[in-house]
Amino acid sequence: MNQMLERASELVARAQRIVVLTGAGYSRPSGIPDFRSDDGVWASYDPVEVASLRAFRRNPDTFYAWLEGLLAPMLAAQPNPAHLVLAELERAGKIHAVITQNIDGLHQAGGSRKVYELHGHLRQATCQGCDRQVPMPSLLGDVRRGAAPRCECGGAFKPDVVLFDEPLPQGIFWLAQKALEECDLVVVAGTSLEVAPACDLPLIALRRKARLVIVNLEATYLDDMADAVLRGDVATIMPALANQVARVIGG
């Protein structure tokens, strides 16, 4: 680990435009359950039955009954040390962008400014009937009573998150691709790279000869192509990496 940490820190210290790709493992230390691990959310639910656009349109009450169980930990969550490290590196001019698959807003809460949320967010919701948008917190009363919040027009409000069988927001996805085309180092952290199309994004940078550092508990399909692989909890490894970077830069 020490050798890999030194290697990763040297890459970060030398890089001029770093892009970080994060997933559920980045927020797990903040108390938010992930989805795909053995004890994750999908161990108890069929995602197509509760979290697809088709399921939402068929029965929004069922969707919100499922979502209500996730809202409490998400709303209570605070940025963990790994989130704070990214904000520090951005302020230092090292990080060009954070691309995240998470919907919890913890990167922004931790101080990161340029964040591309591939799967949307829980800050607001949109009426499926008239496209009216409202802040998500204003709907929590209905959600906690077990009912799908509805607009004056009668349409159900859907959180601005990307559900299964729903396309990613094309503008955000384009910005993420553009950032990867221009970076010289990709840090993949807290994701096992199993969800398309996010899992393929690092390949954009690798094709342009960018370097790759992976920080994750489990193996990923890109481990063999990485310049450094750090196996462990991001809340421990990312601060250690930042400290080592500071020593490298300080000489």
Cα separation, 149 vs 129, in Å, equals 12
> Cα–Cα distance between 110 and 87 in angstroms, integer?
7
pLDDT tens over the chain, length 251 residues: 689 999 999 999 999 999 999 999 999 999 997 655 555 454 455 666 778 899 999 999 988 988 887 887 888 899 999 999 999 999 999 999 999 999 999 999 999 999 999 999 999 999 999 999 999 989 988 888 878 999 999 999 999 999 988 999 999 999 999 999 999 999 999 999 999 999 999 999 999 999 999 999 999 999 999 999 999 999 999 999 999 999 988 76
Q: Which of 83, 96, 107, 119 is catalytic?
A: 119
pTM of the complete model beyond 0.85 = yes
> According to the model, what pLDDT value does residue 243 have?
95
Task: Give pLDDT, residue 235.
Answer: 97
What one-character-per-residue DSSP string does the chain give? -HHHHHHHHHHHHH-SSEEEEE-HHHHGGGT---SSSTTSGGGTS-HHHHSBHHHHHH-HHHHHHHHHHHHHHHHH----HHHHHHHHHHHTT-EEEEEE---S-HHHHTT--SEEETTEEEEEEEETTT--EEEGGGGHHHHHTT---B-TTSPBEEEEEPPBTSPPPHHHHHHHHHHHHH-SEEEEES--S-STTGGGHHHHHHHTT-EEEEEESS--TTGGG-SEEEES-HHHHHHHHHHHHHHHHH-
119 is catalytic: yes
